[in-house]
């Protein structure tokens, strides 16, 4: 009998967490976001071909607003846990949240595939994820390889992408180099997410 081992090297880790007390937290955030949307114009970057309301390039740091204080604490806790999975040396090089912005997707809104440059860890927190809202897609770092041989099934080793259906109160963390996109929202209700970057 031949001795054989198939090893899965270089796995890509994605962390998902359910945030305690998310209902109250989301109510507080939604209230503050009404102020944000009334005062901060959409700063959709010119290079994006998608449509959505975003404060990404507005210069407005949501975490400076008191309503986001609790969220900031959850980001710190969850990011530290995710950093431990990658054995990042956050004792000597503490994590810092560098950016935090909101994305609001109406019916038909989506986001093209992208990475978050100049960051170690990125994340998304879902404030509202109604039925029919667009899935978050993570693209395999190998999805651009030159040749994809035919497969009989999709599994964790050969899949080019993974689709996650968001839930309100959920926080997703990933390495900033991991390409991701958002499918179009089908329903009429808004999909609201808070995105953030951390560096070391
Ligand atoms: Fe993103």
Ligand 1 centroid, distance to 148 Cα (angstroms): 26
User: What's CA 195's distance to the chain center, in Å?
Assistant: 6
What mean pLDDT do residues 119-136 have? 97
Statement: residue 148 has pLDDT above 90: no
Task: Report domain 14-143+159-199's class.
Answer: mainly beta
Ligand 1 centroid, distance to 20 Cα (angstroms): 23
Ligand 1 centroid, distance to 183 Cα (angstroms): 12
pLDDT digits (tens, 9 = 90+) for 84-105: 999 999 999 999 999 999 999 9
Global pTM value: 0.94
Closest listed residue to residue 74, CA positions, set 29, 18, 128, 13 = 18
- Domain ranges for the chain: 14-143+159-199
C-alpha triplet 109, 110, 113: angle, nearest 5°: 165
pLDDT digits (tens, 9 = 90+) for 54-70: 999 998 899 999 999 99
Ligand 1 centroid, distance to 123 Cα (angstroms): 8
Ligand 1 centroid, distance to 119 Cα (angstroms): 12
Ligand 1 centroid, distance to 147 Cα (angstroms): 27
- Residue 100: how many other CB atoms lie within 10 Å: 24
């Amino acid at each position: 009998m031949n001795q054989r081992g198939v090893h899965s090297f270089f796995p890509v880790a994605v962390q998902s967490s359910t945030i305690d007390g998310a209902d109250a937290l989301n109510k507080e955030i939604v209230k503050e976001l009404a102020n944000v949307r009334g005062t901060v114009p959409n700063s959709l970057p010119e290079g994006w071909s998608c449509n959505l309301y975003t404060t990404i390039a507005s210069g407005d740091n949501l975490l400076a607003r008191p309503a986001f204080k609790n969220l900031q604490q959850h980001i710190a806790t969850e990011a530290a846990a995710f950093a431990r999975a990658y054995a990042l040396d956050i004792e000597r090089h503490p994590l810092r949240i560098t950016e935090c912005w909101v994305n609001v997707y109406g019916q038909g809104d989506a986001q093209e595939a992208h990475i978050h440059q100049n960051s170690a860890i990125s994340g998304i927190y879902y404030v509202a994820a109604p039925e029919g809202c667009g899935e978050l897609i993570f693209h395999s770092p190998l999805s651009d390889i030159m040749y994809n041989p035919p497969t009989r099934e999709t599994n964790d080793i050969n899949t080019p992408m993974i689709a996650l259906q968001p839930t309100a109160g959920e926080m997703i963390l990933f390495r900033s180099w991991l390409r991701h996109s958002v499918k179009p929202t089908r329903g009429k209700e808004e999909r609201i997410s808070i995105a953030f970057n951390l560096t070391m």
